[in-house]
Amino acid sequence: MNVNTQFKKGVLELCVLVLIERKDRYGYELAQEVSRHIEVAEGALYPLLRRLVGDGYCTTYLQESSGGPPRKYYRITPQGREYARQTVGEWRSFVAGVARLLEEGEEE
Amino acid sequence: MNKEQFLFRLQKGLAVLPSETRKELMADYEDHFRSGLEHGKSEEEIAFELGSPEELAQEALELQPKTDGHAERAATARADVPSSGIVSSNAGPKRQASFSFVRLVLSVLWNLIAVPLWVSAWALAAGLAAVVLALLASPLLFAADFALNRDWNTAQFYAVLLMLGIGIWVVGPFLDLLRFVARSTGRYALWNARFVMGRN
């Protein structure tokens, strides 16, 4: 597994947390939302979601869908909200740091 | 690759997981296909967007919740023997120790009782050590006494021989006992540390 996929896995967790923080979503919907913005193997979502549930960052419930079996929705927990807040903070400072580094390179 | 092929390959990759976990994950992917088809995608498109079933299976094994010891072992086993098509360069899942404040407090509480017991065990060992050393050193003391006072005491001489005999007789068992106490203390300390830091 190369660095790029490891990196994407970390980012995927962040994206999923932020998406379910905004509203409850089901798996396919999450995959679509993430794919709109970044290129990622959508299948990686499901093991990740299982782990988030296992860690207590979100819970699941079933809800009827129009003409079909019920869908599994993911809802964020207060713990998950806190974790998302931290992770977003880390991400922002990370991105800002990289941006500064790149700019310094251009000045030299 | 169509839905059936994708699910078949995924199922194979997830074989080492507990059946409950595997069924749940398989159901997630089946639901995903169903939603995708409802949105007008083909099975091939959906399978392509999901990614390689073997890589996904590997990821699923690594991302098991930390409490799931069975799957963690399974993932380790799998990381050792990558299935065909996967070159896994990553190490097994992280064995994270989980520090717990509650366990720390518990540990402190019973150590209030246990530590004095260990101290008395060592005090006893130190006392026995003094006795054994005195027994073994008695001929030296006797010789020193004789050298200084030039006063031969036959009864004392036999007493010293007897003490030396007893000393030689008990020194082996005493060393065994000392080793035992030392090892037990070490194990007890290690066990405590593991208890506080989590079983792993």
| CB spacing of A50 vs B60 below 8 angstroms | yes
Question: What does chain A come to in residues?
Answer: 108
Taking residue B200's Cβ as centre, other Cβ atoms within 10 Å add up to 12
User: DSSP state, A56?
Assistant: T
User: DSSP state, B18?
Assistant: -
Give pLDDT tens digits along chain B (200 positions): 899 999 999 999 999 888 899 999 999 999 999 999 999 999 999 999 999 999 899 888 887 654 444 444 444 444 444 444 444 444 444 445 567 788 888 888 889 999 999 999 999 999 999 999 999 998 888 888 888 888 888 888 899 999 999 999 999 999 999 999 999 999 998 888 888 887 64
Q: Which residues of A touch B20 (CB under 8 A)?
A: none
| CB spacing of A44 vs B32 below 8 angstroms | no
Predicted model pTM:
0.55
| CB spacing of A43 vs B64 below 8 angstroms | no
The ipTM (two decimal places) reads: 0.87
Q: What is the CA radius of gyration of chain B?
A: 34
- Please report which helix (H) or strand (E) contains residue A76, including its range: strand A68-76
Q: What is the CA radius of gyration of chain A?
A: 16
A8 and A40 Cβ atoms separated by less than 8 Å: yes
Contacts of B164 (CB under 8 A, 6+ apart): B135, B136, B138, B139
As a whole number of angstroms, the distance between CA B194 and CA B200 comes to: 7
